[in-house]
Chains A and B, each alone.
Chain A
Amino acid sequence: GAGVSQTPSNKVTEKGKYVELRCDPISGHTALYWYRQSLGQGPEFLIYFQGTGAADDSGLPNDRFFAVRPEGSVSTLKIQRTERGDSAVYLCASSRRPRPEDTQYFGPGTRLTVL
């Protein structure tokens, strides 16, 4: 595709519910990253995939957060038992190679609001 796409663009849910956020990376990009950005803050690293496997999930805040990338392309970030503090913009990025200096291309983000 032309760029990284994320769906939905906005998600409003109630406390305690389960949500899934989807990321479609640029075709052929092997590395995929998830970040969370709160208002007035920079993006905060959550998890990084190299192909199908999670190469580094050290940024996931707790075990309510989980992400998959079963075929090495599309990724889904899953949040169980959502809390109000989970409200933020969730950003996805991809890069051609899983090297830190490779340019990461970001999607527009999914704005999650937990009521």
Chain B
Amino acid sequence: SQKIEQNSEALNIQEGKTATLTCNYTNYSPAYLQWYRQDPGRGPVFLLLIRENEKEKRKERLKVTFDTTLKQSLFHITASQPADSATYLCALLRDDKIIFGKGTRLHILP
């Protein structure tokens, strides 16, 4: 069955550094992959979508890579700020449905 794995441990990063989050998947070749941000008590907020024929996508301080050979996506936040602290969810689009990973909690330390 489809499996999506994200860093299970929380990630602590010093303010100003680059935070890198990993998403690995198995048993599927998705056409699209998305990243969301979720704050406590809130619904997920869409950040970026990357297609299978795109290697990299950028939006302001965010960068996503998609390696279909490794079946992996990396999500980078450069010049990280305490306000970037949240849970980040990786999601694959499959058969008109979004399949989410468990998410990685990111803490940016001032």
Binding site for B on A (CB under 8 A): 4, 33, 35, 40-45, 48, 55-56, 58-59, 91, 93, 98, 100-101, 103-109
Contact of B43 among A56, A58, A59, A109 (CB under 8 A): A109
Instruction: Decide: B44 and A100 in contact? CB cutoff 8 A.
Output: no
A40 to B101, CA, bound (A): 10
Nearest Cβ on chain B to A91's Cβ, whole angstroms: 5
Which residue of chain A is the closest to B90 with respect to CB atoms?
A42
Q: Which of B13-21, B57-65, B77-85, B91-99 contacts A (4 or more CB under 8 A)?
A: B91-99
Chain B binding surface, main DSSP class: strand
Which residue of chain A is the closest to B105 with respect to CB atoms?
A40
Contact of B103 among A4, A42, A45 (CB under 8 A): A42
A35 to B4, CA, bound (A): 17
How many A-B contacts at CB < 8 Å in the complex?
55
Instruction: Decide: A100 and B97 in contact? CB cutoff 8 A.
Output: yes
Known contacts A42-B89, A101-B32, A101-B93; A4/B100 CB under 8 A? no
Q: Inside 8 A of A108's CB, which chain B residues have their CB?
A: 41-43
Contact of B100 among A42, A58, A100, A101 (CB under 8 A): A42
A6 to B103, CA, bound (A): 23
**In the complex, per-residue mask of B30-55: 1 if CB is within 8 Å of any chain A CB, else 0:** 00100000000111111001000000
Q: Kindly state whether residue B71 has any CB partner on chain A within 8 Å.
A: no
